[in-house]
Structure 1
């Protein structure tokens, strides 16, 4: 499945039939010279290569053409390797010739100050007028390893050519090349796009392409910033629809990292919490470093997770066996309980002193018998209760370790479940090289291996649970920022919520002490009194709230106290009176739900434990709007305090279904008024026992673009 509104056909860019290299050079260390070498010496071009250089008639025995206009045919791709001062003129030639794609390797544009930004804007203008797409500028080029095509100036291209099912989309070239060089560990990367300044084509476009590309099975992305939220989400949804995992490393999580990312790419980095919430919703596997990214991606490339999640551990060192079992348990994973036939085979084959119940400790005594190790390891991997097997190798023991590597390779050929060898030694001996050449890409520690397996397992659960669900609704595009905002009064906010069908307690504003008494008498006591002012959002902070008012006399005292406190703390605030509200029943739990507008993705809901300590306790979860019923259910259950709602220590079970309905109602309200709602805060939300409902007790809404 694709999303036509956001998808772009990149097939002529990634598999071009005709390429023009503009700025081809005989100087081997220049960008044009290195790109020429990669295309002529190290690529297998299935079509025409045109060299463009107005000062040369030929280069290395190949004819040179003076301009794009002079070429005998229009190329699919123009690779531009001229100085920044000449790029715009070349782009104008490409536009006139209707070249569909331009790869601009040259730096000196959006990353280079005001003048560079103006030049970059001109590039975008030229391309849009001609219907041409730009890749770059300020990028290392495009590498299609599976087709052995390097439209790049990188001197590493000839050395990083291990074909494979992983697609890599990055913004920065250095980290991207770092991932490419994980080929030394035995992984295969079929396509690498490093998009540079993203004046036009973005990482999202290449994720979208890879989501339907037949030679790509796993998508990896390194992100410094996300410029177009809906475009990015459409790509993630397309990958999910096609059953392809997306593994992401997002830099810029800390203030330091955000500053570095912005100076590098001039992109919005976004809130780390929001980015992570969006990733969870769309099934993206978020990792924290390059090793974790590579280990996880290659495990997916070897095998997709199935319903069998339990792990088998097969080892020859007692201490290493225990270390691995601990890591499995600490990660929240499960050791498989072997089927009787597996246990019986292990008992019949292994010595009496070996541990035959998972985790298996063969002891080092059996390593000299390769057939014995292969048959027993194969039995563990073939066990019907086992989803994968880890085989930690604690040390390089020369010939013994070589035989162990051989048996792992042989055993894997007989079973479908992945065997994950862990090479723990810093000595990378022949056994390690054998595993690399066989495509195992051994993780270098038990912790890294188990982390990859945990993410593999969790994505399998997510993917199975998402099967058959309706496609997720993409959020509306984020409108341009407007400075004009206004705070609605609590009464105005609650009127909007009530109109949207969200249940509320009776509420009214009293302009005088006498009117407050009439309202409260009509509602019935107890009531709550709150200062009514559009200029005072956090009423409790200034003594602007009284709860549990039992009669008219207490209400009169509350009026005097609240008004005095408001005048003292906020002397310039406009005061409308007191808001009188029926008090919620006793008991219950106080929660909160807030909505903010993220500049990249749009409206995001934060939900969790409420009351005055929400900022301190920070027991919250987040989701991008609109919510699905599954989102609402998972938000409630992800909170650390969920056991309190679920009847912990004899408490009544809370009305969780009503709470989920409330979250969905708020989501629909905000989505229907997306242009209007800037912020929203429902705190506290009272949740009673099962059947008693969930009610917002306070409501703050900030509108944008309002008069």
Structure 2
């Protein structure tokens, strides 16, 4: 076992012990059959059973310690109560890898949780790389290791995909579905309760496998988010694509995750932000996962800004209309064809009104093969597209003509260098002959228009993000804190302002006033119209107590506002400690919000959004995990549904989005640096001023857990 590749003992083992082996032990017998199915040398399988002299036609040993020679990997197919004693034997024998199938551990209550902790401790003491417990095992196809307690599909073959699933049942299903579609696997593993090894460990191993280009994950939770992000970064750096289906996005689902694996699931939005920021391609369901995997596995992924679009070809005018809708909805650009291409189409096709992109080639492949070939060949030379999507008829078995057509498409792809995707209209059963044809020609085939377009959009987005440098490590903008966080709980406005100033986060000009006359003088200094608001750590949310007055235009109004605010707060919260009032000029700009909250697993979470009704009613916000670059903050604002407001509506000038993004980045570094010290930061509103003038926070709230030491 290489020290820098500790999981070799699992995925590259050349001798296997099956402890608890018996023809009547379903899991053990299934694993033996799977090893046979994949062609593993059965002479290197060692059954261990104290009550049998022979199992599976092989000599059985009463104890692992009686087995001669080295055993790199053991499958433990005994019940939960005997697993600890077996693990101790593994240590005596020098076994380096183990798969524990039994359930009855952390997912089974307090007694099982204690048993799992003992198992993990015992495994770590002897340096055992342990998969499970409560799992169905792993597969390493090139090594012919079918260490899987479910029936492996007959179509399973070696390939460029690694499967890392936190659900054995899901992986069992996915192996069958994907293999039928021609996807080949290098490894696949389901880690069960992850007592020792986690999905992050398997992801790291796959990221370092040169044979792997796509890593497919089904995730429920990760106990160590930092370890996961390091594994994702490693995969990204090595040019791998990581496609993730994450369950546990609703409250009920999160409760089920705890019941299923004993892991906390955390906030769905925060987890999705974390995965997205580290290059994972997120999908919505199993069908989505399958189609996206098929496309990524059959298409080399390369950094590409995608300045060109996609051309679609079908044989139905109705399909063309539908494809226009779906392409726009899924973010697929369909450029107008060049005049030269259009001229060729007009000359060859009978319906000039339907010539365009998508292109309706009618039934020309039967009626006028020469015109059909000429149109498709011309489309592959179209300079405005880098991808051609094709949908033709798919009868039960491909005819000789259809085989010839797809062979030509493969040749045109090679000659033009364009990407090709073959679509079906809907999810429909196809014969194995079709899958074999597409596999032979190396043509990606995606079931159903929307799933295919969505997968293609993900592929293009992943490539353009790689080309843009989105995933570069953020560089620090701003300084580390020089001001102390005084006390715990809500910080005073002045203390908050000091911390923000350390990071170059601008607050609107302000003055503190301790009397009505002081407030009037402050207003004269700052200018009218102005705002007066209470300053008290006991009244963080001012509107609830009538502690805010807007649009004040003279000294008399300011004095009256001061008196009213103090009186109302004294009445509603008589024990409030009042520092005075804050006077600010009333500025104009696009109202936004920036905030920081804490996720129980992920720590600081940055919230970006537009102010007013857009956030209060529509919840139009974006989530990011600190720290982030200004470019990533800009991407977050561009993802908002109400983003048009930032670019000027109804005669308003465009807002300084770059200045707003810079402020968001600086706040993200503040949150990152202070870590657990801060539980909440709320800059609301933040005014995005007209372009070139930056952004200013008008109000700021910071809540700390304990003072900075």
Normalising to structure 1: TM-score of the pair?
0.89
Change over 3 Å in CA distance of 1:95–1:490 after alignment to 2: farther
Map 1:402-551 to 2 at 5 A.
Answer: 403-416=401-414, 417-424=418-425, 426=428, 428=430, 432-435=434-437, 438=440, 440=443, 442-466=445-469, 469-470=472-473, 486-513=489-516, 516=519, 520=523, 526-551=529-554
* Aligned equivalent of 1:619: 620
* Aligned equivalent of 1:481: none
How far apart are 1:472 and its partner, in Å?
Answer: 8.0
Measure, in 2, the Cα distance between the counterparts of 1:355 and 1:146.
50
Tell whether the 8 Å contact from 1:375 to 1:411 is kept in structure 2 after alignment.
no
Measure, in 1, the Cα distance between the counterparts of 2:381 and 2:655.
45
Change over 3 Å in CA distance of 1:435–1:447 after alignment to 2: farther
Measure, in 1, the Cα distance between the counterparts of 2:143 and 2:566.
75
* Aligned equivalent of 2:681: 680
How far apart are 1:143 and its partner, in Å?
Answer: 0.9
Measure, in 2, the Cα distance between the counterparts of 1:149 and 1:354.
58
2:65 aligned to which of 43, 46, 69:
69
1:577 aligned to which of 569, 576, 579:
579
* Aligned equivalent of 1:477: none
Task: Note if 1:13 corresponds to 2:32.
Answer: no
1:171 aligned to which of 166, 174, 187:
166
Measure, in 1, the Cα distance between the counterparts of 2:390 and 2:373.
12
Tell whether the 8 Å contact from 1:393 to 1:424 is kept in structure 2 after alignment.
no
* 408-417 vs 251-260, which moves further: 408-417
How far apart are 1:409 and its partner, in Å?
Answer: 4.2
1:254 aligned to which of 244, 250, 256:
250
Change over 3 Å in CA distance of 1:344–1:331 after alignment to 2: same
Tell whether the 8 Å contact from 1:529 to 1:578 is kept in structure 2 after alignment.
no
Tell whether the 8 Å contact from 2:316 to 2:360 is kept in structure 1 after alignment.
yes
Task: Note if 1:241 corresponds to 2:218.
Answer: no
* Aligned equivalent of 2:480: none
Change over 3 Å in CA distance of 1:669–1:245 after alignment to 2: same
Task: Note if 1:32 corresponds to 2:28.
Answer: yes
SS at match of 2:158: coil
How far apart are 1:264 and its partner, in Å?
Answer: 1.5
SS at match of 1:674: helix
How far apart are 1:266 and its partner, in Å?
Answer: 2.0
Change over 3 Å in CA distance of 1:501–1:332 after alignment to 2: closer
How far apart are 1:119 and its partner, in Å?
Answer: 0.3
How far apart are 1:288 and its partner, in Å?
Answer: 0.8
1:58 aligned to which of 33, 50, 54:
54
Measure, in 1, the Cα distance between the counterparts of 2:91 and 2:190.
23
How far apart are 1:227 and its partner, in Å?
Answer: 1.6
Measure, in 2, the Cα distance between the counterparts of 1:144 and 1:375.
45
How far apart are 1:255 and its partner, in Å?
Answer: 2.4
Change over 3 Å in CA distance of 1:472–1:52 after alignment to 2: farther
How far apart are 1:233 and its partner, in Å?
Answer: 0.8
Change over 3 Å in CA distance of 1:375–1:430 after alignment to 2: farther
Tell whether the 8 Å contact from 1:374 to 1:411 is kept in structure 2 after alignment.
no
SS at match of 2:65: coil
Measure, in 2, the Cα distance between the counterparts of 1:399 and 1:115.
57
How far apart are 1:534 and its partner, in Å?
Answer: 1.9
* Aligned equivalent of 1:640: 641
* 276-285 vs 452-461, which moves further: 276-285
Change over 3 Å in CA distance of 1:158–1:487 after alignment to 2: same
Task: Note if 1:138 corresponds to 2:138.
Answer: no
Measure, in 2, the Cα distance between the counterparts of 1:399 and 1:139.
39
SS at match of 2:67: coil
* 342-351 vs 488-497, which moves further: 342-351
Tell whether the 8 Å contact from 1:302 to 1:418 is kept in structure 2 after alignment.
no
Measure, in 2, the Cα distance between the counterparts of 1:139 and 1:347.
60
* 539-548 vs 611-620, which moves further: 611-620
How far apart are 1:110 and its partner, in Å?
Answer: 0.7
How far apart are 1:683 and its partner, in Å?
Answer: 0.7
Task: Note if 1:565 corresponds to 2:565.
Answer: no
Map 1:152-301 to 2 at 5 A.
Answer: 152-154=148-150, 156-182=151-177, 183-301=179-297
* 345-354 vs 510-519, which moves further: 345-354
* 72-81 vs 421-430, which moves further: 421-430
How far apart are 1:147 and its partner, in Å?
Answer: 2.9
How far apart are 1:563 and its partner, in Å?
Answer: 2.2
How far apart are 1:551 and its partner, in Å?
Answer: 4.2
* Aligned equivalent of 2:484: none
User: Where do 5+ consecutive residues of structure 1 fail to align?
Assistant: 474-483
SS at match of 2:567: helix
* Aligned equivalent of 1:326: 325
Residues 641-676 of structure 1 show CA distances to partners (whole Å, capped at 9, x for unaligned) of: 333332334322323333222212212222221131
Tell whether the 8 Å contact from 2:397 to 2:431 is kept in structure 1 after alignment.
no
Taking only aligned residues, the RMSD between alpha carbons, in angstroms, comes to 3.1
SS at match of 2:446: coil
How far apart are 1:372 and its partner, in Å?
Answer: 6.7
Measure, in 1, the Cα distance between the counterparts of 2:475 and 2:219.
23
* 594-603 vs 404-413, which moves further: 404-413
SS at match of 2:504: coil
How far apart are 1:336 and its partner, in Å?
Answer: 4.8
* Aligned equivalent of 2:651: 650
Change over 3 Å in CA distance of 1:8–1:695 after alignment to 2: farther
How far apart are 1:109 and its partner, in Å?
Answer: 0.5
Tell whether the 8 Å contact from 2:609 to 2:621 is kept in structure 1 after alignment.
yes
Change over 3 Å in CA distance of 1:683–1:355 after alignment to 2: closer
How far apart are 1:113 and its partner, in Å?
Answer: 0.9
* Aligned equivalent of 2:594: 593
* 187-196 vs 688-697, which moves further: 688-697
Change over 3 Å in CA distance of 1:304–1:467 after alignment to 2: farther
Normalising to structure 2: TM-score of the pair?
0.88
Tell whether the 8 Å contact from 2:132 to 2:193 is kept in structure 1 after alignment.
yes
SS at match of 2:638: helix
Measure, in 2, the Cα distance between the counterparts of 1:516 and 1:190.
72
Tell whether the 8 Å contact from 1:218 to 1:245 is kept in structure 2 after alignment.
yes
SS at match of 1:415: helix
User: Where do 5+ consecutive residues of structure 2 fail to align?
Assistant: 477-486
Measure, in 2, the Cα distance between the counterparts of 1:356 and 1:525.
62
Tell whether the 8 Å contact from 1:603 to 1:625 is kept in structure 2 after alignment.
yes
SS at match of 2:106: coil
Measure, in 1, the Cα distance between the counterparts of 2:307 and 2:142.
32
How far apart are 1:622 and its partner, in Å?
Answer: 1.5
Aligned residue pairs: how many? 687
SS at match of 1:428: coil
* Aligned equivalent of 2:387: 388
How far apart are 1:578 and its partner, in Å?
Answer: 2.4
How far apart are 1:703 and its partner, in Å?
Answer: 1.1
* Aligned equivalent of 1:478: none
Measure, in 2, the Cα distance between the counterparts of 1:100 and 1:514.
78
